[in-house]
Amino acid sequence: MQNVINQFMEVAADHRCNFLGNVTVGKDVALATLQQLYHAVRLFSNESNMQADSVAHAAAMHTSKV
């Protein structure tokens, strides 16, 4: 587990990486906007009943700048 934490901290410290937490995609920010601004967008949710293709209630996003 410590190895995973260390790898996350290394990636998160990179100036090309942004983390936005407690964001609702479609309400706080449009997915299309994120896709225009970033090369890669990863959506994560802590909702166990969220469908795989749903992005409406993403709890956190990991993005990397182009």
pLDDT of the residue at 30: 92
Residue-wise DSSP of 5-63? HHHHHHHHTSTTEEEEES--BTTTB-HHHHHHHEEEEEEE---TT--TT--TT-SEEEE
What pLDDT, in 10s, does the model give residues 12-65?
Answer: 888 888 888 888 888 999 999 988 988 888 887 776 655 544 444 443 444 445
Count CB atoms within 10 A of the CB of residue 25.
Answer: 22
pTM of the model: 0.51
pLDDT of the residue at 51: 52
* DSSP conformation class of 3: H
* DSSP conformation class of 66: -
Of residues 60 and 9, which shows the higher confidence score?
Answer: 9
The domain limits of the chain are: 2-65
Q: How many whole angstroms separate alpha carbon 23 and alpha carbon 1?
A: 26
